Amino acid sequence: MKLLKVFAIGLFMFLLSSPALGAFQKIGKDEKGDVISFPENAKMPSIDIDRITYYQYDDGRVVISLVTYGNIDTNALYTIIFNTTRDDETLFYSVSFTENPNLKEELNETKGIWVVTDETIKEINGSFDIMGKVLRVSFKLLNNDEKLRNLIGMTMLAEYSGNTPTSFGMDNITIYVKESEWGEQEEQEQQEQHDQGSGKGFPGFEFPILCLALLLIALFLKRKRF
C-alpha cells in the first residue's frame, strides 16, 4: 500500500513537471559539423546546433531550448526569431543572449525578449538558463491563442588575437509549422500558394532575418582601435 502511494505521488509529480503536458510541441534537428566558418572547417562545437525545441502551453507560456554539440559559450551570440499568428494578426518575437563584452559596447541590450506587432515593439519579461549544452528561455506570449508558424535559431562566435579576428563561425536552424499541426483544416488553395512561394513558410520571413544576420556579423567583427 505504501509502495502504491509513493508511485502515485511520483507519477503526479512527473506529469506536473512534464513540458509536454497540455502543450504544443515542435522539435527541429540539425546536422553536426555544419558550422559556416572562416577559416573553413574551424571547430566551434559551442555554436554547432544539435536541436531546438519549442513548447507552448495552453496559457501562452513558452519554453524554448537551444541545444549545441558543445557547451554554451557566453561569448557567443545566440538568437531565436519566430512569428506567430492570431486570427489575421502576425506577431514577431526576437530572443537574444550573449555576455560578449564587445557586443555590450555596441548594443544596449544583449540579453532579452522582444515582440513586434503592427503598432508596437515591446520587451517581455523572461528567464534564461544555461545547463551545459542547453540554453533555455522561458516567457509568456502576448496572447494565449497565438500559433507558431516559423522559427529560426542562429548562433555566432568570433575569436580574436588582439584586434585581428582569427576565426568566425555561424550556424542556423529553421522550423516551419504546417496549419495541420495545430489541428486546423488545410485548404488546397492555401497549400498550393504556399508551395509556389518560397516553400519555407511565411512569405518574406527569411529576408529580415538575413539583414539581421549581416548586421550582427558586422558588429561581431568590429573592434575598437585606440
Task: Give residue 34's pLDDT.
Answer: 94
pLDDT digits (tens, 9 = 90+) for 160-181: 777 777 888 999 999 999 888 8
The residue length of the chain stands at 226
- Report the predicted TM-score, pTM, of the whole model to 2 decimal places: 0.75
**Contact yes or no for 11/21 (Cβ under 8 A):** no
| SS3 (DSSP) at 145 | coil
Average pLDDT on 132-152 reads: 96
Supply the pLDDT for residue 140.
97
| Average pLDDT estimate for 170-199 | 62
Q: Is the pLDDT of residue 67 over 50?
A: yes
C-alpha cell at 156: 555566432
Tens-digit pLDDT profile for residues 6-55: 444 444 444 444 444 457 999 999 999 999 988 888 889 999 999 999 99
Model confidence at 208, in pLDDT bands (50, 70, 90)? low
- Round to whole Å and give the CA distance between 122 and 113: 9
Yes or no: say if 28 and 174 are a contact pair by the CB < 8 Å rule: yes
Answer yes or no: is pLDDT of 138 > 50.
Answer: yes
Position 218: which residue type?
A
